Amino acid sequence: MGEIVNGGITIAMDSDVHEDNDMKKPSGVSRQWDMSQERMFIENLLNQRFNFFLIIFSAVIAGAMNAKTLIQFRFVLVIGSVITTLIGITLERSQEKLDIIINELFKEASHPVTVVDKLSRRGGTKRRILGILIPRICCSLLTAIAIFSLFGKQFNVWMPK
């Protein structure tokens, strides 16, 4: 399908590909996938996964608060903490990839990412808050509540009877 060219992937476009206006692309047209495009792709993927994580986290909290029995409460919390932890792991991996890509882009002094970063260097980068800190806090909170609900006698404040 594609071949490695200068560290990027060249994707050959087929001459039979049609656009919406039914115009043919010229034969031999190729598109270079560079680090800026990869950054945009990974950043978008990270944001989508983070939004999905927040929806699942919210659903678990809502499910636990609406549980009618202690068994339902524990079940929702345990399963929810496992699922959010697994999604959190994918968030961390996406964040690590994004950090690697941005660090590579910083090596190019004229790249817009480098220029903007130098202009906004108040207290360093905050991008790891979204991909690492918030998921860890949410997963830790759910796991702690699940453990207390399973083993804690004094944690009967939220638990249904």
pLDDT tens column, 64-93:
999 998 899 999 999 999 999 999 999 999
* Domain residue limits at 8: 1-33
- For residue 68, being part of any structural domain is answered with yes
Q: What was the pLDDT predicted at 107? A: 87
Q: Are residues 4 and 51 in the same domain?
A: no
Distance, C-alpha 57 to centroid of its chain: 14
Statement: residue 142 has pLDDT above 90 = yes
- For residue 156, being part of any structural domain is answered with no
Assign 3-class secondary structure to the chain: CEEEECCEEEEECCCCCECCCCCECCCCCEEEECHHHHHHHHHHHHHHHHHHHHHHHHHHHHHHHCCCCHHHHHHHHHHHHHHHHHHHHHHHHHHHHHHHHHHHHHCCCCCHHHHHHHHCCCCCCCCHHHHHHHHHHHHHHHHHHHHHHHHCCCCCCCCCC
Q: Are residues 61 and 125 in the same domain?
A: yes
Structure tokens at 56: 């699942």
Q: What digits encode the pLDDT tens for the residues 24-41? A: 555 555 567 888 899 899
Q: What was the pLDDT predicted at 111? A: 87
Q: Are residues 61 and 133 in the same domain?
A: yes
Q: Are residues 52 and 128 in the same domain?
A: yes
Q: Are residues 117 and 129 in the same domain?
A: yes
Q: Are residues 66 and 49 in the same domain?
A: yes
Q: Are residues 106 and 71 in the same domain?
A: yes
Q: Are residues 12 and 43 in the same domain?
A: no
* Overall average pLDDT of the 131-150 stretch: 94
Q: What was the pLDDT predicted at 92? A: 96
Q: How many CB atoms lie within 10 A of CB 28?
A: 8
Q: What was the pLDDT predicted at 154? A: 60
Compute the distance between CA of residue 77 and CA of residue 55 in angstroms, rounded to an integer. 15
Residue where the block lists tokens 């004229």: 110
Count structural domains, the chain.
2
Q: Are residues 11 and 1 in the same domain?
A: yes
Is residue 35 within 8 A of residue 105, CB to CB? The reply is: yes
Is residue 105 within 8 A of residue 34, CB to CB? The reply is: no
Statement: residue 7 has pLDDT above 60 = no
Q: What digits encode the pLDDT tens for the residues 100-127? A: 998 888 888 888 888 888 888 776 778 8
Task: Average the pLDDT over each of 2-6, 72-76, 146-150 and give the range with the smallest value.
Answer: 2-6
Residue where the block lists tokens 């660090």: 103
Q: Are residues 27 and 44 in the same domain?
A: no
- For residue 159, being part of any structural domain is answered with no
8 forms beta bridges with: 5
User: What is the value of pTM for the model shown?
Assistant: 0.73
